[in-house]
Amino acid sequence: MGKTGTISIYTKEQGAALGDLFGIFFEDINHAADGGLYAEMVRNRSFEFDPIDRHDYDGLTAWEKVELGEGKSSIQVEQERPIHPRNLHYVAVEIIEPGEGVGIRNLGFNSGLLYREGETYTFSMYARRSASFDEPVAVRLEGIDGTVYGEAKVSVTSEWKKYEVVVASSATDFCGRLAVMTKGNGTLYLDMVSLFPTKTFRSRPGGLRDDIATMLADLKPKFMRFPGGCLIHDGSLNAGDRDSMYRWKNTIGPVEQRPPRKNNWRYHQTLGLGYFEYFQFCEDIGAKPIPVLPAGSDPHSQRYVPIDELGPWIDDALDLIEFANGDASTDWGSLRALLGHPEPFNLEYIGIGNEEIGEQFFERYTYFHQAIKAKYPDIQIINSSGPFAAGGEYERGWRSARDNGSDFVDEHYYQSPDWFLAHYHRYDSFSADDPKVFLGEYASWGNTYYNALVEAAFMTGLEKNAHAVGLACYAPLLCNVDYVNWKPDLIWFNNHQVFGTANYYVQQLFMHHQGDHLLRIDTEGFAAPAQPAESKERIEGKLLVGANLNEVVYRDIRLINHETGEVKTLTDKVEIGETEEDRRLSSEFGRKAVVGETGLKSYSLSMKAIRKNGSRGFIMYFGYQDEANYVMWEAGSHSNQESLVHAGSKGYRGCLTQSLFSPETGVEYDLEVRVDGRRIRTYVDGVLINDTEHIAPVIEPLYCSASIEEATGDVIVKAVNVQDADVQAQLQFADLHSDNLLIDVYDMSGYALDEMNSFEAPEKIVTKYKSMQTSGNQVGYEFPKHSVTVFRVRKG
């Protein structure tokens, strides 16, 4: 153990307000809503699944035919007499032979529907039939082998009508099925076949899954950003299209009238969890709502609403504010009242756009901003800075925010743990006079204890820079283990279990113990920690060229030593191609070929490059150690629009910087990567495209922050020790005069860095609590290696 250092907390020296700093971000990705937080147990309840949503879907996805005894039937999806024009499809069960009953059976999400012994379930459906009106329709909670756990019967007439009945289950089964069947003759028509646990969060009919919602509530987030994410800006511009961009007006009112939607994460979205429910949930858990709206701009498919047609999109934003805050005399406020919430939802923030790039978005943003500020000057508007932590589009976002007077800039980054350590001081130089940072999405790549530890260290940096950072939320929030679009995620679940990751417990610590104002905190006298082996002076490694879903010819590949002026031709020509199949079999960034190696401090790798086919661009590695550790330039990546410099570190990857560049097939480009120490610049035809520094990670003795909570007067101190050694410290609470300090200590420690929570061991990594009592205003403490510690200091 090193020498004892001192942490001085100046309890009377307040700094920036912490406001609403730590919150959550909900997006319907990984089946976070349907098959997740939204408690509907029936999958494809309205027979609206369609290959547009996903190639292997159809109207009968998740349904199977039931034919009991000698029963025979034919089932098909029809649309001639729908229950509502926005909910076109329904199923027709033609009874050929009634046998012991014919009908349909739903398979649910995951392994099936979850039934618990003694609990009740609310079944509902729209139904009509053509004959045999005296024959009841039976609704059965079943096991996979047909064992009936609960049954109800309803009589159905010739006109569409909604039926609702509560059924109890006599058994617990995670692989349950729901059957709806009848006898007689003619045809039985069904739509909106639905089953909810009666016990939902706050007991709301058609509400939220209690266990998942409770996990979210237990975080005590200050805000909730929703509903996306890419979810909000991917899609067509016509609100009526199935793959339309997310339009909030489609998501309110009776669920059977909400149109089916293609979720951009390649599944079907019912919109049963809509804007009213989002607002209500925020209110329930005490989180301020932060809706994010599309700006008629889809950078992925490069679709943009013409400026002179932006009106309805801007109205969507204005109407949403009225829906949330307007009184009953307003059109949208009265609709909210009609839906059961006469009080306002007190909306304070609104986001326009998600991860936007390109001038087209920023041109449109101004119209939104001006219209919103003109009508609602107090609403705080969040602008966008693209999907990456730095580069041309990131800077364009910040310029736009400054020019428009945006209140916040939404920053997103998913990075390696090393990147988070290297960028601990990222916000130290940000000005309090600028728009504030909304760190709307971030995560280090992984759910291990190490990821959580590093995120905790970084979060003390967010806190300490509360003058510049106003809001921050981890992403993504939820993941159904059987429908993974993206990982890591904060909370994992299946149909009957849910667990928080190590990252969850870190987020929870920071949310529970945020405080209202920063306190000055100084550290001194700690021994210098052991530092990572990685060179802080240079980027060395092999040089490679590659292809990514295309065929590329590189010519005249040279290495230029800028210290000596020596120019070395590495190779005259490399032809390289990568097909879809190669992609599947090879590493993430395509096929590649080694062309040289360098240990130089200042050098350029230059070449001529031409794309013969395919839609992406060129790949050059210039600090390649192995598949887990590299630096790489991808000139022409996502949608053939971007020039990215990536760094891979210990198997985690991250994008250091991004700018726009769209290579054309058949055009030869002069490409150059220039490396000076850890600075990287890329040029196309002599024009600077990327300019970044690959900062090497640095370990600090302790990552600390301090704050004060107004309501209690408690002083809160956070300390994160990422070192592989315990750290001994003396904490001094200046100006805290008390004979007796009561200290609540919340601690995460004693875990191996690669440990994770799981369904089998959901609470392997959690926060532990102990209390301490001291006299005087000093206390000695040993921060265990790899620990996150929060002190809550109360006067005795």
Residues labelled as active-site residues: 355
Residues in Cβ contact with 761 at an 8 Å cutoff, skipping those fewer than 6 apart: none
Sheet holding 90-97, edge to edge: 72-78, 90-97, 186-197, 120-129, 161-168
* CA distance linking residue 345 with residue 348, whole number of Å: 9
* CA distance linking residue 274 with residue 267, whole number of Å: 17
> Minimum distance between the CB of residue 475 and ligand AHR, rounded to whole angstroms?
4
Pick the closer one to ligand AHR by CB: 27 or 463: 27
Pick the closer one to ligand AHR by CB: 65 or 638: 638
Pick the closer one to ligand AHR by CB: 96 or 484: 484
| DSSP string for residues in 612-646 | EEES--EEEEEEESBTTBEEEEEES-GGG-EEEEE
Using alpha carbons only, give the angle 381, 382, 385 rounded to the nearest 5 degrees.
150
Pick the closer one to ligand AHR by CB: 256 or 441: 441
Strand ranges, E, within 214-368: 223-226, 261-263, 267-269, 288-293, 297-298, 303-304, 349-352
> Minimum distance between the CB of residue 165 and ligand AHR, rounded to whole angstroms?
38
Pick the closer one to ligand AHR by CB: 275 or 703: 275
Query: Computed from CA positions of residues 649, 654, 660, 662, in that sequence, does the dihedral angle turn out positive or negative?
Result: positive
Distance in Å from the first CA to the final CA of the chain: 32
**Cross-strand bridge partners of residue 9:** 521, 733
Core vs surface per residue 453-471: b (16+ CB within 10 A) or e: bbbbbbbbbbbbbbbbbbb
3-state secondary structure of 518: strand
| Cα–Cα separations (whole angstroms), residue 505 to 358, 451, 510 | 37, 12, 9
> Minimum distance between the CB of residue 209 and ligand AHR, rounded to whole angstroms?
20
> Minimum distance between the CB of residue 402 and ligand AHR, rounded to whole angstroms?
23
> Minimum distance between the CB of residue 447 and ligand AHR, rounded to whole angstroms?
14
Q: Which residues bind ligand AHR (CB under 6 A)?
A: 27, 29, 228-230, 354-355, 387, 412, 441, 475-476, 486
Pick the closer one to ligand AHR by CB: 407 or 441: 441
Kindly compute the dihedral angle of the four CA atoms of residues 594, 596, 597, 603, in this order, to the nearest 10 degrees: -120
* CA distance linking residue 318 with residue 72, whole number of Å: 55
Q: Please state the separation of Cα 238 from the chain's center in Å.
A: 25
Which residue type sits at 113? L
Pick the closer one to ligand AHR by CB: 293 or 600: 293
* CA distance linking residue 172 with residue 180, whole number of Å: 20
Residues in Cβ contact with 666 at an 8 Å cutoff, skipping those fewer than 6 apart: 610, 611, 612
Q: What residue number has its CB nearest to ligand AHR?
A: 229
Pick the closer one to ligand AHR by CB: 191 or 234: 234
For the record, the structure tokens of 146 come out as: 């047909």
Pick the closer one to ligand AHR by CB: 142 or 441: 441
Sheet holding 679-684, edge to edge: 567-577, 550-561, 602-614, 668-676, 679-684, 687-693
> Minimum distance between the CB of residue 477 and ligand AHR, rounded to whole angstroms?
9
> Minimum distance between the CB of residue 36 and ligand AHR, rounded to whole angstroms?
15
> Minimum distance between the CB of residue 231 and ligand AHR, rounded to whole angstroms?
6
CB–CB of 678/536 below 8 Å?
yes
**Cross-strand bridge partners of residue 82:** none
* CA distance linking residue 83 with residue 21, whole number of Å: 45
> Minimum distance between the CB of residue 227 and ligand AHR, rounded to whole angstroms?
10
Residues in Cβ contact with 378 at an 8 Å cutoff, skipping those fewer than 6 apart: 348
> Minimum distance between the CB of residue 354 and ligand AHR, rounded to whole angstroms?
5
3-state secondary structure of 397: helix
Q: What backbone phi and psi angles, to 5 degrees, belong to 505?
A: -70, -30
Q: How many residues are given for the chain?
A: 796
Query: Could you count the other beta carbons within 10 Å of the beta carbon of residue 511?
Result: 19
> Minimum distance between the CB of residue 679 and ligand AHR, rounded to whole angstroms?
27
Pick the closer one to ligand AHR by CB: 477 or 595: 477
CB–CB of 621/630 below 8 Å?
yes
Strands 567-577 and 72-78: unpaired
What 8-state DSSP symbol labels residue 185?
S
Pick the closer one to ligand AHR by CB: 319 or 489: 489
